[in-house]
Amino acid sequence: MKTKPVTFRKSLLISLLGGALTAPLTWAAGPVSEIVVFGDSLSDSGNAFVLQRENNTPPNYDVNPLLIPDDAYARGGHHFTNGPTWAEQLGRSLGLAPDVGPAFRDANSRATNYAVGGARASDDGLNINLPVQVRVFLQDFSGSASPDALYVVAFGGNDVRDALAAAGAGVDPGPVIAAGVSAIGANILALYRAGARKFIVWNAPNIGLIPAVQALGSDAVTGAGVLAQGFNGNLSVVLAALRSLPEITITEFDLYGTFSTIHEDPAAFGLTDVTHPCISPGDPPFVCKHPGTYLFWDGIHPTTAVHTIIAHDIAQLLGN
């Protein structure tokens, strides 16, 4: 791919916010020259910090009563967890570490991770969502998407949380789910038309398992699971239709299944606590003693230990 021009990046952000040579990755769809990531806080390698220049620190952290953060954490490198995300861990293991750095940090870098904390698949006009991320990427590369790159589209959790909030307010959550799924399909199509051919798309996790939803009671927990399943069922239908496009390869990653498996059998993954957040704002020592044994870092985000599991599972999908 080409070096990203500087001029567009500066003007776009104003409007929005007012290595070493290695052997190429090869999988069933053919050789992969690089990784391009679109996503939310689960994939954000530092973009939210670059854009906001704020981060979370103890003792109180910048979180709401459900331990949902507004900013990335200073600990672990400005992520929404306590260390490297799955994307960074996967990139390093495949010799593609420069690709998975924050794309918003330096217009001249090789980084092509456009994921930003808080993003949704559909455009809510508030966050740097999937349509904006794809638009930035295409303008960075003059409208061309390399057919030899692997494009990861990793959304769903925030869209399902929005749907749950709508249901809790007595509003039909169906349109929220439909908008998110439709946006994923539309942006994959936009990337395909620009030249992209190889995709990994993950589904929504069961947000009924996260501490922030558990704290809302059994009805919210049940509703969250149903909404996530609805999102994922509709997403599978859209992806099946897109597979009719010539030369396209779309591999689904079952994030819902991964989180459910970890939650049901934590010992198999070296975890001991799958219900409580690791951080404890205002309560010394403000963080659990052994984060590597926890599923959740805060009210909604997994620990970097769980990111390692995700990276491993995606690597297996790629045959690595």
Task: Give the DSSP letter string of 25-57.
Answer: EEETTEEE-EEEEEESTTT-SSHHHHHH--EE-
What is the mean predicted confidence (pLDDT) over 158-163?
97
Residue 141 has pLDDT above 70, yes or no: yes
Any residues with CB less than 8 A from the CB of 236 and at least 6 apart, and which?
Answer: 203, 252
Q: What is the pLDDT of residue 55?
A: 80
DSSP 170: T
Taking each helix axis from N to C terminus, what angle separates 157-168 and 174-193, rounded to the nearest 10 degrees? 160
Q: What is the pLDDT of residue 27?
A: 54
Which tens digit of pLDDT belongs to each residue from 74-88? 877 899 999 999 999
HEC assignment per residue over 90-133: HHHHCCCHHHHCECCCCCCCCCCECCCCCCCCCCCCCCCCHHHH
Q: 252 - beta bridge partners? A: 201
Residue bearing the bigger pLDDT, 27 or 193? 193
Q: What is the pLDDT of residue 62?
A: 81
What is the mean predicted confidence (pLDDT) over 19-44?
71
Residue 282 banded pLDDT, cuts 50, 70, 90: confident
For tokens 């994923």, the residue is 184
Residue 238 has pLDDT above 70, yes or no: yes
Domains and CATH numbers, the chain: 6-317 (3.40.50.1110)
Average pLDDT for the chain: 89
Rounded to the nearest 5 degrees, what angle is found at the Cα of 302, between the Cα atoms of 79 and 206?
130
Q: What is the pLDDT of residue 10?
A: 32
